[in-house]
């Protein structure tokens, strides 16, 4: 009798992270993040990022709330419900604090159109929340946590000792050890679900993880390019 194939011991998260290694390097080395770390990122680009991120967070919180509703394990439901709250409460405070400091009030923010990339990422997450198997939804929300912790920690190392750094508050949010604990938790949930998922679901989980990581790169890139709708010129302004 032929010997059974050895079962792979590599976790879903380790495999997914390895698959996105070059993309993660590209995220770390993106001019937006280099300039953010150096403190030379222009106010325009940072404001663009913050306004779009506010829109993203509203959609992301709904995605997490849907994950809480769909979770069968009460501990998972608690984690996602708590994270939905954090996304809205803590992060919105961060955004509003910066935007107020830049003289951008609620009305100025409301007047900005949601960018194509932000809309695509937010729509992708919300569609996944409503139509994909639960493990695939978890894989899709994972890069948001994980990539930010990775980027935040790297930025903290690069900017250690620079107390007057203009984007210090942003950097410390994502390099906070309490935030690292939430990354560990969501990784554990993803690994547990992947361990019992059928091969097709596991493949879809990897695809969702990669797609969301691509959107993370695109999000920073869209802020760097101050992305607009190429079709905007043909629409009359709202009366
Ligand atoms: C495009 C984009 N991707 C990820 C984050 C980071 N983030 C947003 S909500 C959340 C979890 C709960 O707080 C995390 C880590 C962001 N701000 N913007």
Task: Tell me the mean pLDDT in the region 31-57.
Answer: 95
Q: How far apart are CA 221 and CA 214, in angstroms?
A: 11
pLDDT at 175: 81
Q: Residue 148: pLDDT above 90?
A: yes
Q: Residue 30 is part of which domain span? A: 12-227
CA distance linking residue 126 with residue 120, whole number of Å: 10
Q: Which atom of ligand 1 has the smallest separation from the CA of 174?
A: 15
Tell me if 63 is assigned to some domain. Answer: yes
Angle 190-205-150 from CA coordinates, rounded to 5°: 60
Q: For the complex shown, is ipTM > 0.90?
A: yes
Domain for residue 234, yes or no?
no
Proportion of the chain above pLDDT 90, given as a percent:
76
Structure tokens at 127: 């569609």
- Which CATH number covers residue 107? 1.20.910.10
The answer to whether 60 and 125 are in contact (CB under 8 A) is yes
Residue 6 placed within a domain: no
CB of 144 within 6 A of ligand 1: the answer is yes
Is the residue at 237 inside a domain?
A: no
- Is 79 near ligand 1, meaning CB less than 6 Å away? no
pTM across the whole model: 0.94
Which residue is closest in CA terms to ligand 1's atom 9? 87
Does residue 57 line the site of ligand 1, with CB under 6 A? yes
Tell me, what's the pLDDT at 237?
75
User: Whose CA is closest to atom 5 on ligand 1?
Assistant: 144
Return the SS3 of 171: helix
Overall average pLDDT of the 197-226 stretch: 98
Q: Is 72 part of a structural domain of the chain?
A: yes
Sorted by sequence, the CB contacts under 8 Å of residue 213 that are 6+ apart come out as 20, 23, 24, 27, 143, 147
In whole angstroms, give the CA distance from residue 73 to residue 139. 16
How many domains in the chain?
A: 1
**Which residue is associated with the tokens 């920073």?**
220
């Amino acid at each position: 009798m032929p010997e059974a194939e050895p079962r792979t011991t590599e976790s879903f998260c380790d495999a997914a992270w390895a698959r996105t290694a070059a993309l993660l390097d590209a995220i770390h080395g993106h001019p937006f993040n280099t300039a953010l770390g150096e403190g030379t990122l222009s106010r325009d680009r940072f404001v663009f990022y913050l306004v779009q991120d506010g829109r993203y967070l509203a959609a992301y919180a709904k995605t997490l709330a849907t994950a809480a509703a769909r979770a069968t394990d009460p501990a998972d439901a608690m984690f996602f419900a708590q994270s939905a709250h954090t996304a809205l409460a803590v992060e919105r405070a961060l955004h509003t604090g910066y935007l107020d400091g830049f003289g951008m009030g609620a009305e100025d923010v409301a007047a900005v159109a949601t960018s194509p990339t932000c809309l695509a990422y937010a729509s992708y997450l919300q569609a996944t929340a409503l139509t994909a198997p639960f493990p695939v939804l978890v894989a899709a929300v994972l890069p948001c946590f994980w990539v930010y912790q990775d980027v935040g920690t790297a930025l903290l190392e690069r900017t250690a000792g620079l107390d007057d750094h203009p984007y210090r508050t942003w950097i410390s949010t994502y390099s906070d050890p309490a935030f690292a604990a939430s990354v560990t938790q969501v990784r554990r949930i993803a690994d547990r679900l992947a361990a019992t998922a059928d091969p097709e679901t596991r493949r879809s989980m990897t695809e969702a993880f990669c797609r969301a990581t691509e959107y993370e790169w695109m999000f920073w890139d869209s802020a760097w390019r101050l992305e607009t709708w190429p079709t905007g010129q043909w629409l009359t302004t709202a009366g």
